[in-house]
Structure 1
Amino acid sequence: MNAVEIEQAITDLAAQPFDPVEFPYAFLEAFGNKATTIKRLRAGASNKSDLGGVLQTSNIHILTCDTGRVTQTLAVLKASPATVKAKAKFILATDGTDFEAEDLASGETVACAYPDFPDHFGFFLPLAGITTVRQISENAFDIRATSRLNRLYVELLKDNPEWGRDERRHDMNHFMARLIFCFFAEDTGIFGGKGKFTETVAQMSARDSSNTHEVIGTLFLAMNTERKDRAAANIPRWASSDDFPYVNGGLFSGSMEVPRFSKIARSYLLHVGGLDWTRINPDIFGSMIQAVADDEERGELGMHYTSVPNILKVLNPLFLDDLRAKLEEAGDNSRMLLNLRKRLARIRVFDPACGSGNFLVIAYKAMREIEAEINRRRGEPDLRSVIPLTNFRGIELRDFPAEIARLALVIAEYQCDVLYRGQKLALADFLPLSNENWITCGNALRLDWLSICPPTGTGVKLLADDLFQTPLDQTEIDFENEGGETYICGNPPYLGNTWQSAEQKAEIRDVANGRTRSPGFLDYVAGWFIKAADYIKHAGGLAAFVSTNSICQGQTVPILWPMVYSTGCDILFAYTSFKWANLASHNAGVTVAIVGIGAPSNGLRHLYEHQDDGSVVLRDGTSITPYLSMGSPVIVEKRNAPFSELAVMEFGNKPSDGGNLLLSRDGLQSLGLTEKQREKFIRRIYGSQDFINGGARFCIWIEDRHLSEAQKIQVLSERIEAVRALRLASPDKGARTILAKRPHQLKLMRIGNTHTIIVPSVSSERRPYLPVGIVDERTTLTNLVFGLYDAPLWNLALIASRLHLVWIATVCGKLKTDFRYSNTLGWNTFPVPTLTEKNTTDLTRCAENILLAREHHFPATIADLYDPDTMPADLRAAHDRNDEVIERIYIGRCFKNDTERLEKLFELYTKMTVNKGQQTKVSKR
């Protein structure tokens, strides 16, 4: 269940008569517990309560009680030994009149009347596996409003299916935007009385809902007509009163058609209007409401919320920190404060993937806060804001989020006016809305950003679609921004190269414009970085985006960052990788980074490093690498051979056999070979999962000199012919003309004469070390692992080190969140100092100690041994000793942390590439 569904379920529960026996189970069911889970709790199989209540392990202990004993019962729950033993996160007590609960980890509490507990549903979202943020916990209204609007939207489409089709989708979305404005206006004093719009619809529309659409259409017409013209327009007196002012601004222009309402839809409308819309938070609400109008996203309502703290990770270092510093510097100096206010008036914030406007709304509210403090210090608290909404520009692909973005900014402007200037002045300046259009609906990678956010005071001339029914020829905006600043920001779509459509790949290719040979490998978000860098080159400014951390890892770096550097941009600040979670239940969140770019300056670069404990450490320096470490902007490129003395690492053997040469243990038995035949024609074979999890597979291994003998064995001969037929039918020319001539063999036939060091190509990021091992001369590898054939054992010590894991995690990138190994990008580029004979001897001993420690725990698998929670002490000690020996070779002591490791490795890499006559791929400025 998502947050919106949970809110609805909790609200329904609170509306039912209180049943002290059933309440705990109904409460848990409302938070997504399955029927089988509830059944086990009822039966006592999983109920750990020692008080006669319901205790779900690692979740919550609930106890209903007699009237007036809620506080005492909560204390009993907290003192319960079962609560502690079961590691409950929450305790909850209620008597059907009062309701109390506590978060045992934070100590936060809820105490309210029983009917009001749905107002606090956000407090309990962790029960559904949803890691939420304080804004949601403290302001459940936005989720409640989204839930009600979603039910209304779905109900309307049942009776008006044509409004859900592509040709009328815009009309439906525009209708919803109008409703949202009316609900907000009737509760905030913009309309004549609180609840006036909802009250009028209730009074003037028939209970059978037959004329509800006509009543709403008439009200919309009134808000699009100036008072002096309402009589001529035949607007009835009930709609033309002062209670409904002239709004226009494009919001109520155009068609007045309204979808027809069923009795249920009318009821839903009245319930939505009955909410207290003064509590709307536009930076939260917009993110959730945008999904209402999208068929694919409606099932994920509430999942698109971007928390304010995460948005501020972009906006603060981009420009807000500097504004606040200038405010602090100005003190009470009237002239300096005036200059800062003039600067605020000329700042533009541009989000070219704005969705429902979160980043723009947060930026606007933060700037209004600074402006209000300026006005306070200058003794001008009632002064009208000099910060125009038209300076907060966006591009959004879909029309409804784009409309919501503009509406969210309009609401934010009004709320700021009320907060800083008072209700009276806010109302005086609010209506009518402006016809100016500053949110563009279109494809950001196809539009010209310079035309949408030009470097001078000229207006927008090209827009892909209209908003609030504003015609294209009326979208030119005049505003004073000459000499102002432009800040580009946002959270663009992440789509990896594998999942992009042909059109999206074409967009990236066109944005790259021939500046790289491999644009097809780029994540979709890379297009926004390239466009931003090009914009900055021509118009100045700074840009910062939330991005998948893939743009700072692996093969993406040498493709993307030379293009960015070639525009004259540099990385000015960054946040290293962190999980970007949303409101989805049990959502692990994508791993992201934040990167800010702009023209180089003499100032320090700021790197915000996320630590394992969730804290952030700020480091300053003169340069940040595209891998998000301090240092010169070196770019690691693939190499065909390793540096220095490292052994050659190659792929294992690709079968290309249609399953005829690979065998399970049972498959091997079914061949019925003699012991002598097995010895000659069968080998053990490892892939990544076989090696890590202890699987057993085999392969038919026929050397040319034994082919005639193998063909005399019917089961082998049949498999050989099956492989031949498969390869001859292949669309691949090499398979038909070369591999088909040796169907008795895997595509490659690599195997060690004495041993092979094995390295899986993909492994879990949870492990503290990369899995690496050694196999004998009768064991071979699939193409899902790498092999160092007959390599010195000290190579294993290097691969098993923390130092090498840090390098691989950085320069090779990841597959989802798992480490993705590469021989050409990870091993061949790994910088190793010149090793003495003693060094190699010491490292060999370390490798032997690691292998011996594993043997002590036979038959434990690599997965068992390297589980970070249960890793054996002797194995960890062997790795610690290995790390110490290696790191002393590098710097004469152990490194302090991974940051220091990475910086040393990049330093060495730079020296080694120069010594090899290779230039690091950075732009010449």
Structure 2
Amino acid sequence: MNAVEIEEAVSALAENPFDPEEFPFAFLAAFGNKETTLKRLRSGASNKSDLGGVLQTNNVHISVAPAGEVTRTLLALKASSATSRAKAKFVVATDGEAFEAEDLASGETVACPYREFPDHFGFFLPLAGITTVKQIRESSFDIKATGRLNRLYVELLKDNSEWGTAARRHDMNHFMARLIFCFFAEDTDIFSRPGVFTSTIEQMSAKDSSNTHEVISELFRAMNTKAADHEAVGIARWARSFPYVNGGLFSGSTDVPRFSKIARSYLMHIGNLDWQKINPDIFGSMIQAVAEEEERGTLGMHYTSVPNILKVLNPLFLDDLREKLEEAGQNQRKLLNLRNRIARIRVFDPACGSGNFLVISYKEMRALEAEINNRRDEPERRTEIPLTNFRGIELRDFPAEIARLALIIAEYQCDVLYRGQKEALAEFLPLDTLNWITCGNALRLDWLSICPPTGMGVKHHADDLFHAPIDQAQVDFENEGGETYICGNPPYVGFTWQSPEQKSDLRAIFEGRTKSWKSLDYVAGWFMKAADYGTKTSAKSAFVATNSICQGEQVSILWTEIFRTGHAIVFAHTSFKWANLAKYNAGVTVIIVGISNCTIAMKRLFSIAEDGSVLEKKTDHINAYLVAGLDFIVSPISKPEDDRGRMEWGNKPTDGGNFFLTFDEKEKLLKSSPSAKRFVNRFLGAQEFIRGQERYCLWIEDADRENAEKVPEIRRRVEAVAKMRSESKAAETRPAAQFPHRFRQIQSIAKRYSLVIARVSSEKREYLPIGLENKNTIIGDRNFAIYDAPLWNMALIASRLHWVWIGTVCVRLEMRFSYSNTLGWNTFPIPILTQKNRDDLTRCAEGILLARENHFPAAIADLYDADCMPADLREAHERNDEVVERIYIGRRFRNDTERLEKLFELYTNALTVQKSNKANSKTKA
């Protein structure tokens, strides 16, 4: 269940008559517990309560209290030894009148009338496996409103199917935006009296809903007509109390979809919510999903947390403004200068969606302005921060409309907060007709025409606020901005998943710059456009991006071009989860990168420590790998420079499948021809290595071919290989038909054992898959192998240090690691190892192998599942990491950023030595 579904279920529970016996089970059902789980709790099979309640292990202890005894019952639940033993996260007590609960980990509590406990449903979302942040707990209204609007939207489309077509989708979305404004306006005194919009519809429309659409249409028409003209154009008397809104929100067609009785009922329910509680920080993102059919299944999971947005905005410009405010103190001249500066700042989000970044920027800047006004004894001063300074581009029309609406709501709420309700109302209507959100493809539009240098007019705009064609003439206001800050969270989309249109977008930006642009993630287009923008006017930009743009081959492709424009990385946040309101903390791993062509002496590098805290490092340079250090690109090395083992590709069969046997086929062959045993070996490809699958292959040396072909089944297979190779379309394959008894490419064969490394593996594993195989196992070309190398090589490859290196310098397939011998292993910086170091590492490798042996026949995929890795195996790896990292710096590293810094330091030192040696060689020559 998602958050919206949970809210609806909890609300239904509170609205129904209270049933003391059924409440605990209904409560759990509302948070997604299945009937089979509830059945076990009802029977007592899994109910661990010692107080006559319901105790679900690792979740919650619930008890229905005697009348008036809710507080005492909650204290008893907390003190219960069963609560402790079952590791319950929450305790809940109610008597049907009062409701109390406590989060046992944080100590946070809820105490409210029973009917109001759905307002706190966000508090309990962990019961459904949904990780929450503080803002979402405080935004139950937004989730409730989103759910109700979604039900209305779906119900309207049932009876107005044409409104769901591409031709009328915009009309439907625009209708929803109008409704949202009206609900907000009637609860915030913008309209003549509280609830007037909803009550007018209820009174003037028939209960059978036959004329509901006509009533709403007349109200929309009134809001698009100046009061003085109401009578002249025939506005119905009952609609004349509604104000002239303007701003384009109600201009154009006033056509409204027809309402069924159910849809009318939904509309009344939505109108009866308290829309004063709307939070534009979150609501815009969530309501966007109402209009996106493919996204409704995840409704309520589109929330981007304010702390995450501030990870972009704070180092981009807000930290500097706060610092200047601190420096200004009570100095009136400095405060005035800072206020003037803030009023001229432009924030531009060229992938603005429903406006989260713009709304948060606006609210934070209004808070700074308000503090300045207080220090200058001008608390009721009208804001000088224009909404037109918060500009965006959005591909889809509905999110673009919601972004404008969210900013309008944010402006009104800030006016109420900082100046008072009376002043806010006096200046709110009519809405301004200027437009600051452009609907279009950001990678195709000229950003300078939307957010141009100071003194130039904006070219792309709309005739009114809520209609945004991009080919309009120049507007009549000058761009008076000072500083420009570009920010946002553009779509990521790896090159494998890009649509033809998206690939074409990247081609338009990168073709002529680099031939390798097809390997770039889609988000790279925004970075390049920002850098190009910065060559024409002063700006600082920062985007959220997939970490892959600062890893592997994309580093040389993208960042070479960005640095060529004169931009540098001025701040960055290394990999972290960009969490949303998603089950099990689902979220993509991202980075934040800020660039500028302005001289900034001290750069800021943020990273997450292993205890979860945020570390900040100040440095004079950040390279494209997001490491404090000089710019360079890690290049492949054909063979290692030291005595580490030589890593080679596995053996490539190119046989049409004829060399391979399943277990049953092997047994059948050996039963009919026992002499074939010497030609059958265990084969290890990727699936066999990672998932422990059994597979066998024919392995025939040249000297043994004649004897092998005396076995009829082997002869048949060899002939099939010869035919397949001779008929191959690949020119390099056809010559191999001359030796059809053996693999087309044979690298090496172990004399004692092989260290095996998967070429492609999941980034979700905490360690790279590496195994030890005997000499009779044939290693396939989906793996790399180091033959007969000392075991200390395994200890290095199995370390977190090596995992970090591979994840940074090697190519990625989607998000999976694509290992490379020349780029990953041969370049891996290894300090000079003493014999003791090698012995210690060897013991660590043996410890890892022994721990795995304890869980035989579990496969790598099972052993290295991050959620259920065996404790002894994890301890073995921890010991290995301890030994490895002490060799490098004498202690454990604090996080991956520190690991990378040390590795790059060693790498650059090695490069310097190599260059020096080459120079000396030339001098001697």
TM-score (norm 2): 0.93
Aligned amino acid, residue 872 of structure 2: M
How many angstroms apart in 2 are the aligned matches of 1:9 and 1:277? Answer: 21
**Equivalent residue, structure 2, for 1:559:** 557
Return 892-901 or 745-754, whichever deviates more.
Answer: 892-901
The structure 2 residue matched to 1:786, chosen from 784, 787, 790, is 784
Tell me by how many angstroms 1:812 deviates. Answer: 2.5
User: Partner of 2:27: helix, strand, or coil?
Assistant: helix
How many angstroms apart in 2 are the aligned matches of 1:232 and 1:643? Answer: 90
**Equivalent residue, structure 2, for 1:123:** 123
Whether the 8 Å CA contact 2:302–2:580 is kept in 1: the answer is yes
Whether the 8 Å CA contact 2:438–2:468 is kept in 1: the answer is no
Change in Cα spacing, 1:760 to 1:602, as seen in structure 2 (3 Å) is same
Aligned amino acid, residue 86 of structure 2: A
How many angstroms apart in 2 are the aligned matches of 1:881 and 1:117? Answer: 49
How many angstroms apart in 2 are the aligned matches of 1:771 and 1:189? Answer: 63
**Equivalent residue, structure 1, for 2:433:** 435
Change in Cα spacing, 1:466 to 1:398, as seen in structure 2 (3 Å) is farther
How many angstroms apart in 2 are the aligned matches of 1:486 and 1:496? Answer: 29
**Equivalent residue, structure 2, for 1:756:** 754
Q: What does residue range 214-293 of structure 1 map to in structure 2 within 5 Å?
A: 214-241=214-241, 244-293=242-291
Q: What does residue range 666-705 of structure 1 map to in structure 2 within 5 Å?
A: 666-672=664-670, 677-692=675-690, 694-705=692-703
Whether the 8 Å CA contact 1:608–1:616 is kept in 2: the answer is yes
**Equivalent residue, structure 2, for 1:162:** 162
Q: What does residue range 65-144 of structure 1 map to in structure 2 within 5 Å?
A: 65-144=65-144
How many angstroms apart in 2 are the aligned matches of 1:827 and 1:381? Answer: 63
How many angstroms apart in 2 are the aligned matches of 1:874 and 1:257? Answer: 67
How many angstroms apart in 2 are the aligned matches of 1:358 and 1:465? Answer: 24
Aligned amino acid, residue 372 of structure 2: I
**Equivalent residue, structure 1, for 2:853:** 858
**Equivalent residue, structure 1, for 2:51:** 51
How many angstroms apart in 1 are the aligned matches of 2:39 and 2:726? Answer: 58
The structure 2 residue matched to 1:632, chosen from 630, 639, 653, is 630
Change in Cα spacing, 1:765 to 1:50, as seen in structure 2 (3 Å) is farther
How many angstroms apart in 2 are the aligned matches of 1:689 and 1:480? Answer: 63
User: Partner of 2:559: helix, strand, or coil?
Assistant: helix
The structure 2 residue matched to 1:847, chosen from 842, 845, 849, is 842
How many angstroms apart in 2 are the aligned matches of 1:678 and 1:726? Answer: 23
Q: What does residue range 345-744 of structure 1 map to in structure 2 within 5 Å?
A: 345-462=343-460, 468-469=466-467, 476-479=474-477, 481-482=479-480, 484-672=482-670, 677-692=675-690, 694-724=692-722, 727=725, 732-735=730-733, 737-744=734-741
Aligned amino acid, residue 213 of structure 1: H
How many angstroms apart in 1 are the aligned matches of 2:668 and 2:883? Answer: 44
Tell me by how many angstroms 1:433 deviates. Answer: 0.8
How many angstroms apart in 2 are the aligned matches of 1:65 and 1:729? Answer: 81
Whether the 8 Å CA contact 1:250–1:470 is kept in 2: the answer is no
Aligned amino acid, residue 109 of structure 1: T
**Equivalent residue, structure 2, for 1:870:** 871
Tell me by how many angstroms 1:587 deviates. Answer: 4.4
User: Partner of 1:539: helix, strand, or coil?
Assistant: coil
Identity %: 63
**Equivalent residue, structure 1, for 2:884:** 883
Residue by residue, what CA displacement relative to the aligned partner does 1:381-429 show, whole Å, maximum 9, x if unpaired? Answer: 2222111111101111110000000000011111111111111111111
Change in Cα spacing, 1:172 to 1:899, as seen in structure 2 (3 Å) is closer
Whether the 8 Å CA contact 2:69–2:95 is kept in 1: the answer is yes
Q: What does residue range 170-189 of structure 1 map to in structure 2 within 5 Å?
A: 170-189=170-189
How many angstroms apart in 2 are the aligned matches of 1:302 and 1:848? Answer: 50
Whether the 8 Å CA contact 1:751–1:789 is kept in 2: the answer is yes
How many angstroms apart in 2 are the aligned matches of 1:764 and 1:89? Answer: 32
Return 11-20 or 464-473, whichever deviates more.
Answer: 464-473
Residue by residue, what CA displacement relative to the aligned partner does 1:248-297 show, whole Å, maximum 9, x if unpaired? Answer: 11111111111111111111111111010011001110000001011101
Residue by residue, what CA displacement relative to the aligned partner does 1:413-465 show, whole Å, maximum 9, x if unpaired? Answer: 11111111111111111111111111111111111111111112323324699
Aligned amino acid, residue 853 of structure 2: F
How many angstroms apart in 1 are the aligned matches of 2:105 and 2:844? Answer: 42
Whether the 8 Å CA contact 2:346–2:390 is kept in 1: the answer is yes
How many angstroms apart in 2 are the aligned matches of 1:646 and 1:279? Answer: 64
The structure 2 residue matched to 1:314, chosen from 312, 315, 319, is 312
How many angstroms apart in 1 are the aligned matches of 2:7 and 2:874? Answer: 47
User: Is 1:203 the counterpart of 2:198 in the alignment?
Assistant: no
Aligned amino acid, residue 222 of structure 2: A
User: Is 1:212 the counterpart of 2:212 in the alignment?
Assistant: yes
Aligned amino acid, residue 781 of structure 1: I
Tell me by how many angstroms 1:726 deviates. Answer: 5.0
**Equivalent residue, structure 1, for 2:922:** none
Residue by residue, what CA displacement relative to the aligned partner does 1:712-750 show, whole Å, maximum 9, x if unpaired? Answer: 322223333444555566554444x24555444334323
User: Partner of 2:661: helix, strand, or coil?
Assistant: strand
Change in Cα spacing, 1:657 to 1:503, as seen in structure 2 (3 Å) is farther
**Equivalent residue, structure 1, for 2:920:** none
Tell me by how many angstroms 1:355 deviates. Answer: 0.5
Aligned amino acid, residue 211 of structure 1: N
Aligned amino acid, residue 749 of structure 2: G
**Equivalent residue, structure 2, for 1:26:** 26
Whether the 8 Å CA contact 1:721–1:743 is kept in 2: the answer is yes
How many angstroms apart in 1 are the aligned matches of 2:258 and 2:643? Answer: 78
Aligned amino acid, residue 377 of structure 2: G
User: Partner of 2:323: helix, strand, or coil?
Assistant: helix
Change in Cα spacing, 1:762 to 1:57, as seen in structure 2 (3 Å) is farther
The structure 1 residue matched to 2:334, chosen from 333, 336, 356, is 336
Tell me by how many angstroms 1:753 deviates. Answer: 4.1
Tell me by how many angstroms 1:703 deviates. Answer: 2.6
**Equivalent residue, structure 2, for 1:810:** 808
Tell me by how many angstroms 1:823 deviates. Answer: 1.5
Matched pairs, number? 910
User: Partner of 1:26: helix, strand, or coil?
Assistant: helix
User: Partner of 1:429: helix, strand, or coil?
Assistant: helix
How many angstroms apart in 2 are the aligned matches of 1:352 and 1:641? Answer: 45
Whether the 8 Å CA contact 1:554–1:825 is kept in 2: the answer is no
User: Partner of 2:536: helix, strand, or coil?
Assistant: helix
Q: What does residue range 898-909 of structure 1 map to in structure 2 within 5 Å?
A: 898-909=896-907
Return 417-426 or 625-634, whichever deviates more.
Answer: 625-634
**Equivalent residue, structure 2, for 1:923:** none
How many angstroms apart in 1 are the aligned matches of 2:882 and 2:255? Answer: 76
How many angstroms apart in 2 are the aligned matches of 1:178 and 1:492? Answer: 27
User: Partner of 2:63: helix, strand, or coil?
Assistant: strand
Whether the 8 Å CA contact 1:846–1:881 is kept in 2: the answer is no
Change in Cα spacing, 1:205 to 1:742, as seen in structure 2 (3 Å) is farther
How many angstroms apart in 2 are the aligned matches of 1:650 and 1:538? Answer: 49
Change in Cα spacing, 1:880 to 1:371, as seen in structure 2 (3 Å) is closer
Aligned amino acid, residue 226 of structure 2: E
5+ unaligned residues in a row in structure 1: which ranges? 920-925
Whether the 8 Å CA contact 2:395–2:442 is kept in 1: the answer is yes
How many angstroms apart in 1 are the aligned matches of 2:361 and 2:185? Answer: 23
Residue by residue, what CA displacement relative to the aligned partner does 1:531-581 show, whole Å, maximum 9, x if unpaired? Answer: 111111222211111111111222221221111111111111111111122
Return 869-878 or 432-441, whichever deviates more.
Answer: 869-878
Whether the 8 Å CA contact 1:441–1:463 is kept in 2: the answer is no
Tell me by how many angstroms 1:897 deviates. Answer: 5.8
**Equivalent residue, structure 2, for 1:826:** 824
How many angstroms apart in 1 are the aligned matches of 2:433 and 2:507? Answer: 36
Return 839-848 or 799-808, whichever deviates more.
Answer: 839-848
Whether the 8 Å CA contact 2:511–2:517 is kept in 1: the answer is no
How many angstroms apart in 1 are the aligned matches of 2:198 and 2:822? Answer: 66
Change in Cα spacing, 1:118 to 1:918, as seen in structure 2 (3 Å) is farther
**Equivalent residue, structure 2, for 1:922:** none
How many angstroms apart in 2 are the aligned matches of 1:281 and 1:191? Answer: 19
User: Partner of 1:111: helix, strand, or coil?
Assistant: strand
Whether the 8 Å CA contact 1:760–1:772 is kept in 2: the answer is yes
